[in-house]
Amino acid sequence: MGRLDGKVAVITGATSGIGLRTAEIFVSEGARIVIAGRRAAEGEALARQLGPACLFRQTDVTVEDQMQALIGLAVEKFGRIDCLFNNAGGPAQTGGIEGLEVERFDAAMATLVRSVMLGMKHAAPYMRKQGSGSIINNGSIAGRLAGFSSSMVYGAAKAAVIHLTRCVAMELGESGIRVNSISPGAIATGIIGKALGLPTETAEQTASVMREVYKAAQPIPRAGLPDDIAHAAVFLASDESSFINGHDLVVDGAITGGRNWTQQQAGYVALRKAFDQGSA
């Protein structure tokens, strides 16, 4: 018996990384899903792999009509929608405040924030009628603390997602709908490659490199993996989390907990040596 037996979910940004792995695990846990992405070939291939429990719809998550149609497809084909995972995203312009381009700022906000709003807007009426549902929005530790993204725009957008999640949770919770976010830490996906301007297919191949780069970033001595976020999403989509609402679930191996123990101890030793030299 799966943890999501009988549930219907919509997952955006499902053609790679976190979204793809979440789709696979949701189906393995018994869910029927509708997945969305901009790349038709990849989305259709994943739907074929996952079988009749999965449908794909090519979707631009920034366009309201397309998001409305995506949510409607789940209800049309499977009769209900129990979970929406607003996972779609992407990199934003890097650099300082003086060099930001308005058009690129607006595009990033549309992808990272407007899409989340649209998903919630169009899932909410169906969930209200059911009297239940779980909405999960993909946040980031960059939305909680400055300095965890190469893009201040990305950090600001994710902060908006986290707070919008709380605001909507206070409203929809009264109708039995839970709204939470997940804030990943250093997860080995292709997003850094995309931020560096690599073509999508090339960027997706950089995850193995990021595993090495990130493995010492937090106390747990490995990089975060898409599986880590996917399993957190399963928990929030399941009835196991039925009293969790308006929460930002941080999945970061404690990278935001403070300085790593060995770094702090090394600093302490260096300070003692400096004091000893000063007293000589």
Catalogue the active-site residues. 154
What is the token pair recorded at 58? 């090519």
- Ranges of beta strands (E only) in 64-190 are 83-86, 133-138, 177-184
CB atoms closer than 10 angstroms to residue 56: 23
What is the token pair recorded at 256? 């935001």
What is the DSSP track for 54-84? EEEEE--TT-HHHHHHHHHHHHHHHS---EE
Report which of 151, 77, 75, 148 is spatially closest to residue 108, judged by C-alpha positions: 151
The answer to whether 24 and 232 are in contact (CB under 8 A) is no
Rounded to 5 degrees, what are φ and ψ at 256? Answer: -90, 5
Largest CA distance in the chain: 80
Report which of 104, 89, 69, 81 is spatially closest to residue 26, judged by C-alpha positions: 81
Question: Each residue of 166-197: b (16+ CB within 10 Å) or e?
Answer: eebbeebeeeebbbbbbbbbbbbbbbbbbbee
What is the token pair recorded at 108? 């990033």
For the chain, how far is it from start to end, CA to CA, in angstroms?
Answer: 70
Q: Quote the CA–CA distance of 164 and 185 in Å, as a whole number.
A: 20
